[in-house]
Amino acid sequence: MSIEVSILTLEKLLEKQLVIPEYQRFYVWDKENVEDLLNDLKDFFLNNGNEKYYLGTVILHNDKTNKKYNIIDGQQRILTLLIILYVFEQQEYNIEGEFNNKITMQNIKNNYKYVSEYLDNYKNNKINLLKNIIFTEIETDSEDEAFIFFDTQNGRGVTLDAIDYLKSYHLRAIKDDNYRDIIAEDWDKNNRYNKNKKHNNLNILFNEILWKARRWTGRNIHYENIKEIKREFEKNTKHNDNDKCLYYTNIENIMSINKNITKDINFLVFNIKEKNIKIKDKKYYPFKIRQPIIEGINFFLYTNKYNEIYKYLFDNNNEVSDEDEIKKFHKLYTTIYYKKNISKYLKSLFELLCVVYYDKYGEKDLFKFALYCDYLIGNYRILKARISKETIIKILKFDIEEKETDNLLDIIQMSFEADEIIKFIDKITPKIKENIDIKKSGVISEYIINYSNFIKDRGIDIDIKKMKDKKHINYKMDKLKDRKNSILKIISKGQ
């Protein structure tokens, strides 16, 4: 193993046969990132002439077998500089990689257009970027060492999320190169960015669901950060030497087994009582949400399961199952929570509770559970003018007798029947009383209307016009105090 650290110009860097490995993230720099870089370059060279502009560290894995250099860190900056060079100096440089991803293609197109417009004003002030932009290059012939350096870097531009670290760590633990590429491609498909570009699917899954489901135990409830997520899903994972998958005893898997994984990511073959079972639906993979995490393939399959469950329950773009229980659940979620102004904290709590419940019981009494979850969360929404992170902690830790040592997530995990959870939710739900102020419009009023529309659709006798009208306070109050009875009527009617 060798490690070399040197200072080199952009020109020298581009003389290498650079490769963007398939497991790297998309090209995600947008106009804001590119504008920052261009403004920095312009200001620097206007004030400093032909001095060298330092653009941070790049980390390369020297793949001597294939005589190529894998870019471990620096992809976003290098691709952006190639766009700038093409526009500014009409120079093309080859870099090997897959660029047919929609996000990557769209960002390249948008950034090319923006750079072209930006540089129209500076064509008479050309600077030799190739010779005047420099980097610190860390080069090693060990891919593992390259990723260790990567984990310690904090480059400019797009801040690395916890999931970026987890991806690189667990890909390194996979011994089979072919399967590593399949896994990386599958991860990127799951990791679609939302339109606001602040979050993506797997960020939501790990930050809002998996970490909290695993770490919010007893009275130990606090919010996540990158360090905490890395500790849970990287540092605290079990070592795996041979790309085998260990399943712990649970309802889908009667025996704990050690089994080689098929190379087809679209289904999983595992063994129960000496019979091979093929599972195509990832949400039925035999994992449990609080089980130990094993590095490598196990981690990615575990992620696939809960990503599939999350999409099944909450992705409004998915086709709704013909199963009656999930149809009713979707109706509640889309009417009251999906893209509704209830509070992002309350919405996240509802999703967290439902994923943990589904992990335990599947679709059995799922709609009933969701009704009671909304009873709990909705009453807090009606009673609280301001919902904060601390509100969520209070909801989970609340107990009437101040003797409970377990929170609601623990109760779900340890229950034997769904009714145990229902009784606990009923006990910790605050009651609506006469003296609350429900005259004001806003998020509370919006929740009340959405809730009213939902129960009316379920066959409950309720006058929506009166629920909207501020003059009918007594009518509205009676209906809100009667929320539990409305739930019981919906359940009894099988609605």
Better-scored residue on pLDDT, 125 or 361: 361
Q: Are 47 and 133 in contact (CB under 8 A)?
A: no
* Angle between helix 483-493 and 443-457 (nearest 10): 30
Q: Which of 11-20, 239-248, 267-276 has the lowest mean pLDDT?
A: 267-276
Distance CA 135, CA 420 (A): 60
- Provide the pLDDT for residue 161: 75
- Provide the pLDDT for residue 159: 52
Where residue 157 falls (left for φ over 0; alpha for ψ -120 to 50; beta otherwise) is left
Q: pLDDT tens digits for 121-152? A: 665 556 688 888 999 888 888 766 666 666 55
User: CA Rg, the chain, in Å?
Assistant: 27
Confidence class for position 378, pLDDT limits 50, 70, 90: very high
Percent share of the chain, pLDDT over 90: 33
Above 50 in pLDDT, residue 339?
yes
Residue 311 burial (C-beta neighbours within 10 Å; 0-12, 13-18, 19+): middle
In the numeric block, the tokens 């992620």 are attached to 303
- Provide the pLDDT for residue 197: 44
* For residues 472-490, average pLDDT: 89
Q: Are 336 and 342 in contact (CB under 8 A)?
A: yes
Above 90 in pLDDT, residue 283?
no
Bridge partner residues of 193 (DSSP): 200
Q: pLDDT tens digits for 446-460? A: 999 999 999 999 999
* For residues 162-170, average pLDDT: 84
- Provide the pLDDT for residue 318: 57
- Provide the pLDDT for residue 403: 60
Helix (H, G, I), strand (E, B), or coil: what is residue 411? helix
Taking the complete model, does pTM exceed 0.75, yes or no? Answer: no
* For residues 419-442, average pLDDT: 82
**Mean pLDDT of all residues in the chain?**
82
Confidence class for position 412, pLDDT limits 50, 70, 90: very high
Residue 424 burial (C-beta neighbours within 10 Å; 0-12, 13-18, 19+): buried
Q: Which of 213-217, 357-361, 400-404 has the lowest mean pLDDT?
A: 400-404
Q: Which two tokens stand for residue 9?
A: 């110009």
- Provide the pLDDT for residue 392: 92
Give the closest residue to 303 by CA, choosing from 184, 218, 407: 184
Collect contacts of 217-225 with beta carbons under 8 A, ≥24 apart: 217/407, 217/409, 217/410, 218/405, 218/406, 218/407, 218/410, 219/397, 219/405, 219/407, 221/393, 221/396, 221/397, 221/407, 222/393, 223/389
Q: Are 224 and 211 in contact (CB under 8 A)?
A: yes
Above 70 in pLDDT, residue 8?
yes
Above 80 in pLDDT, residue 400?
no
- Provide the pLDDT for residue 259: 46
Above 70 in pLDDT, residue 274?
no
> Following DSSP, what letter does each residue of 357-382 receive, concatenated?
HHHHHTTTTHHHHHHHHHHHHHHHHH
Q: pLDDT tens digits for 171-224? A: 888 888 777 778 877 887 777 655 444 456 888 999 999 999 999 998 888 888
